[in-house]
């Protein structure tokens, strides 16, 4: 649909803005007029002055500081003193000495400019106050007014209402215990993290998890979105942050939850935003300002951790980061079971869980609801498995970012990810878990990395595409991201780290390094073919595999 541009309406102009514009124009005209009218006499040369002298056109000579002004019947001319024969001019014509008023003129000009800018500043202040009044007036009918007081919420959600995320729950248990009994930790001088950062794609339940923490601990819950801190005027966001933390401390133990924290916590770079920076600085100050035992825990949520400012991620602020990935097979089954708990159903939950690879929690909720609506439209009071199959495509079309596989694609992806798991385990590349949906290699935290470590990581990223090519004699699009990662590491090895035999590097060395890695992985996968088959079967059954589970399979074969 073509966007319709709004027509200009003169009535939409703010009177205050008109005043500022008129004030600027008046000031500009006044300054130009003053500069022009201050001294309009024409500056002439020695020859021109002698011509006036010879033709007897001069009526009076005026001495004005370093200048001599020659007054005729029609005009007045000026010339520098040293440019004429003063004796001849002063003898022939009447002479007038003018008092030097240049300092007075300069002072007057300065005062006029100050007064003009003072007038302009006053107009701008009036304009700002007028806009603020309009915002406050408009916000009276808004659900989230600018000047709304900070309110604590009471969460009734517990972990019983959040399916799956077993690892996340375990990490948050001690924080819940601290909020329930903070004195126990104070007595032992135990320092808990001031902040917890929940990192994960949209729809995985970051907000729900934070509410569950508040519900489990039975403490006040302060919810704010990062965008709510960023206002039109500098200082208002910072003031809101200050009020939020003041209220949280008063009601401690409590939880402050900042959703989409990247809206206010973006890295401070060359493209400055004074309001966001002021708000971020206030947030950093507040997190430094309360003690670890104050009873206030800050939970932030983001799906763009790479965009956050380093100061926000340093030790002493968001000490703990919890990564929440898309739910695996077991998590999806538990989530579906939870969503179907109050709906009469005859659903094969395992089957539905298997056909919803890549669905996040929000998508599963939508799918369950749509299936129930479909059953009602069909005149049935019980939800069937077929209802999920009927509405699955509808949910997918409504959520384009959801990754979903057919059974054939699921098998291809299982081979692809199994190869990465086998090679990573064989080459001792650390990973948390590798699944059909995602790969979670652990970040290298060492300052010094060997060439062998970097090459092993390259081989893991290439393993999937090589395995599918061996198994299917075909290449697939699912390898694009991993190949890009492998190329990036190769580029660093050759150019940034200069880990080659020659100091003068060329693109040919990149190609040779990639070809050597492909050759080695091809041979290794051929040797580990049985292990690859068993890990593939394991992934098809469980969707995820840990390093220890992969080692068990490798030990059994070798």
3-state SS, 133-199, equals HHHHHHHCCCCCCCCCCCCCECCCCCHHHCCCCHHHHHHHHHHHHHHHCHHHHHHCCCCCCCEEEEE
- Asked, for residue 129, whether it belongs to a domain, the answer is no
- Asked, for residue 436, whether it belongs to a domain, the answer is yes
Q: What is the CATH number of the domain that holds 248?
A: 3.40.50.300
| Domain end position, chosen among 398, 425, 444 | 398
List the one residue out of 199, 279, 284 whose CA is nearest residue 235: 279
In this structure, what token pair is assigned to residue 432? Answer: 């948390």
- Please tell me the predicted confidence (pLDDT) of residue 527: 93
Please tell me whether residues 319 and 333 are part of one structural domain.
no
Please tell me whether residues 179 and 293 are part of one structural domain.
yes
For the stretch 176-189, what's the b/e string if a residue is b when 16 or more beta carbons lie within 10 angstroms of its beta carbon? bebbeebeebeeee
Whole-structure pTM value = 0.52
Output Rg (C-alpha) for the chain, integer angstroms. Answer: 38
Distance of CA 507 to the CA centre of its chain: 34
Domain count, the chain: 4
Helix or strand holding residue 433 (H, E): strand 431-435
Other C-beta atoms lying within 10 Å of the C-beta of residue 120: 15
- Asked, for residue 66, whether it belongs to a domain, the answer is yes
Please tell me whether residues 357 and 266 are part of one structural domain.
no
Q: CA-CA distance, 380 to 345, in Å (whole number)?
A: 10
List the one residue out of 404, 387, 395 whose CA is nearest residue 364: 395
Q: CA-CA distance, 282 to 304, in Å (whole number)?
A: 21
- Asked, for residue 10, whether it belongs to a domain, the answer is no
Please tell me whether residues 61 and 166 are part of one structural domain.
no
| Domain end position, chosen among 71, 100, 129 | 100
- Please tell me the predicted confidence (pLDDT) of residue 268: 67
In this structure, what token pair is assigned to residue 494? Answer: 């050759």
Q: CA-CA distance, 267 to 469, in Å (whole number)?
A: 41
For the stretch 513-546, what's the b/e string if a residue is b when 16 or more beta carbons lie within 10 angstroms of its beta carbon? bbeebbeebeebbeebeebbbbbbebbbeebbbb
- Asked, for residue 337, whether it belongs to a domain, the answer is yes
Q: Are strands 67-71 and 76-80 parallel, antiparallel or unpaired?
A: antiparallel
List the one residue out of 275, 287, 254, 232 whose CA is nearest residue 150: 254
Please tell me whether residues 276 and 319 are part of one structural domain.
yes
- Please tell me the predicted confidence (pLDDT) of residue 401: 41
Q: What is the CATH number of the domain that holds 342?
A: 1.10.8.60
User: Using an 8 Å Cβ cutoff, are 88 and 53 in contact?
Assistant: yes
In this structure, what token pair is assigned to residue 1? Answer: 């649909």
- Asked, for residue 147, whether it belongs to a domain, the answer is no
Please tell me whether residues 290 and 340 are part of one structural domain.
no
Decide: helix, strand or coil at residue 40. Answer: coil
Please tell me whether residues 249 and 342 are part of one structural domain.
no
Alpha helices by DSSP H, 181-328: 182-187, 206-217, 236-250, 274-289, 310-313
List the one residue out of 196, 300, 200, 191 whose CA is nearest residue 241: 300
User: Using an 8 Å Cβ cutoff, are 462 and 454 in contact?
Assistant: no
Cα dihedral 372/374/375/378 (nearest 10)? 160
Please tell me whether residues 365 and 425 are part of one structural domain.
no
Count the helices and strands in the chain (H runs, E runs). 20, 15
Q: Which letter does DSSP use for residue 115 in this model?
A: H
Which residues does 388 contact at the CB level (< 8 Å), separation at least 6?
347, 352, 355, 367, 368, 371
Q: Which domain holds residue 482?
A: 407-557
- Please tell me the predicted confidence (pLDDT) of residue 415: 95
Helix or strand holding residue 258 (H, E): strand 254-259
Q: What is the CATH number of the domain that holds 68?
A: 3.30.720.210
Decide: helix, strand or coil at residue 60. Answer: strand
Q: CA-CA distance, 219 to 221, in Å (whole number)?
A: 6
- Asked, for residue 288, whether it belongs to a domain, the answer is yes
- Please tell me the predicted confidence (pLDDT) of residue 145: 45
User: Using an 8 Å Cβ cutoff, are 38 and 105 in contact?
Assistant: yes
- Please tell me the predicted confidence (pLDDT) of residue 298: 87
Q: What is the CATH number of the domain that holds 544?
A: 1.20.58.760
Please tell me whether residues 389 and 423 are part of one structural domain.
no
Bridge partners (DSSP) listed for residue 67: 64, 80
Please tell me whether residues 175 and 305 are part of one structural domain.
yes
Dmax (CA) of the chain: 124
| Domain end position, chosen among 79, 100, 121 | 100
Is the alpha carbon torsion for 170, 172, 175, 181 positive or negative? Answer: negative
User: Using an 8 Å Cβ cutoff, are 336 and 353 in contact?
Assistant: yes
In this structure, what token pair is assigned to residue 254? Answer: 């409590």
List the one residue out of 432, 486, 499 whose CA is nearest residue 168: 432
User: Using an 8 Å Cβ cutoff, are 256 and 244 in contact?
Assistant: yes
Q: CA-CA distance, 446 to 250, in Å (whole number)?
A: 42
Q: CA-CA distance, 13 to 27, in Å (whole number)?
A: 21
Q: Which letter does DSSP use for residue 303 in this model?
A: S
pLDDT, tens digit (0-9, with 9 covering 90-100), for 47-91: 888 888 888 888 888 887 778 888 888 888 888 877 777 777 777
Please tell me whether residues 450 and 540 are part of one structural domain.
yes
- Asked, for residue 248, whether it belongs to a domain, the answer is yes
List the one residue out of 236, 315, 307 whose CA is nearest residue 266: 307
In this structure, what token pair is assigned to residue 549? Answer: 């589970």
Distances (CA, A) of 188 to 110, 121, 177, 268: 67, 58, 14, 38
Residue pointed to by tokens 């064989």: 426
Please tell me whether residues 548 and 463 are part of one structural domain.
yes
Decide: helix, strand or coil at residue 97. Answer: strand
Other C-beta atoms lying within 10 Å of the C-beta of residue 504: 7
The tens-digit pLDDT sequence of the chain (558 residues) is 334 444 444 444 455 556 556 666 666 666 666 555 556 778 888 788 888 888 888 888 888 777 888 888 888 888 887 777 777 777 788 888 776 555 565 666 677 777 767 777 777 777 667 666 655 554 444 444 445 566 777 778 888 878 777 778 888 888 888 888 877 887 888 777 778 888 888 878 888 888 888 888 888 888 888 777 765 455 677 788 888 888 888 887 888 888 888 877 777 664 556 667 777 888 888 877 665 556 788 888 888 888 888 888 877 778 788 888 888 888 888 889 888 988 999 999 888 888 888 788 888 888 899 899 988 988 989 999 888 887 876 665 554 444 567 889 889 999 999 999 999 999 999 888 898 877 767 666 566 889 999 999 999 999 999 999 999 999 999 899 999 999 999 999 988 888 877 777 778 889 999 999 999 999 999 999 999 999 999 999 888 899 999 999 999 887
């Amino acid at each position: 649909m073509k966007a319709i541009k709004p027509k200009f309406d003169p009535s939409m102009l703010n009177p205050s803005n008109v005043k500022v514009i008129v004030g600027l124009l008046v000031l500009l005209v006044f300054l130009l007029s003053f500069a022009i009218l201050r001294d309009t006499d024409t500056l002439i040369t020695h020859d021109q002055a002698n011509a006036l002298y010879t033709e007897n056109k001069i009526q009076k000579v005026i001495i004005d500081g370093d200048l001599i002004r020659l007054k005729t019947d029609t005009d007045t001319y000026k010339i520098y003193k040293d440019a004429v024969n003063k004796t001849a001019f002063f003898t022939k014509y009447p002479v007038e000495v003018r008092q030097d008023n240049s300092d007075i003129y300069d002072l007057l000009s300065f005062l006029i400019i100050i007064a003009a800018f003072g007038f302009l500043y006053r107009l701008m202040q009036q304009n700002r106050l007028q806009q603020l009044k309009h915002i406050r007036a408009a916000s009276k009918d808004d659900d989230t007014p600018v000047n709304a007081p900070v309110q604590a919420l009471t969460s009734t959600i517990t972990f019983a209402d959040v399916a799956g995320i077993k690892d996340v729950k375990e990490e948050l248990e001690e924080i819940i215990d601290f909020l329930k009994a903070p004195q126990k930790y104070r007595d032992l001088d135990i320092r808990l993290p001031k902040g917890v950062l929940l990192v994960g794609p949209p729809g995985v339940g970051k907000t729900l998890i934070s509410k569950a923490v508040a519900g489990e601990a039975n403490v006040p819950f302060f919810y704010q979105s990062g965008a709510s801190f960023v206002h039109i005027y500098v200082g208002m966001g910072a003031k809101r942050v200050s009020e939020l933390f003041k209220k949280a401390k008063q009601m401690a133990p409590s939880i402050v939850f900042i959703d989409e924290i990247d809206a206010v916590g973006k890295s401070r770079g060359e493209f400055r935003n004074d309001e966001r920076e002021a708000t971020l600085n206030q947030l950093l100050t507040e997190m430094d300002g309360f003690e670890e035992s104050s009873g206030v825990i800050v939970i932030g949520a983001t799906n763009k951790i790479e965009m956050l400012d380093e100061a926000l991620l340093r030790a002493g602020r968001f000490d703990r980061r919890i990564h929440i990935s898309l739910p695996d097979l077991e998590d999806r089954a538990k989530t579906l079971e939870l969503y179907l708990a109050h709906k009469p159903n005859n659903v094969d939950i395992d089957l539905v869980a298997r056909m919803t690879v890549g669905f996040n929690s929000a998508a599963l909720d939508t799918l369950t609801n749509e299936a129930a609506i479909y059953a009602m439209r069909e005149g049935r009071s019980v939800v069937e498995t077929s209802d999920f199959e009927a509405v699955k495509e509808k949910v997918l079309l409504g959520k384009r970012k959801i990754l979903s596989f057919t059974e054939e694609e699921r098998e291809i992806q299982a081979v692809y990810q199994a190869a990465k798991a086998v090679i990573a385990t064989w080459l001792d590349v650390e990973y948390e878990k590798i699944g059909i949906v995602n790969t979670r290699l652990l970040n290298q935290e060492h300052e010094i990395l060997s060439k062998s470590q970097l090459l092993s990581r390259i081989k893991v990223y290439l393993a999937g595409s090589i395995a599918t090519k061996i198994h299917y004699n075909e290449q697939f699009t699912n390898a694009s991201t991993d190949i890009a990662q492998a190329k990036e590491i190769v580029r660093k090895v050759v150019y940034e780290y200069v880990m080659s035999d020659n100091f003068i590097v060329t693109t040919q060395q990149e190609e040779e390094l990639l070809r050597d890695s492909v050759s080695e992985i091809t041979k290794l996968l051929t040797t580990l073919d049985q292990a690859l088959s068993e890990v593939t079967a394991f992934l098809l059954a469980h969707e995820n595999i840990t390093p220890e589970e992969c080692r068990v399979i490798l030990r059994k074969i070798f």
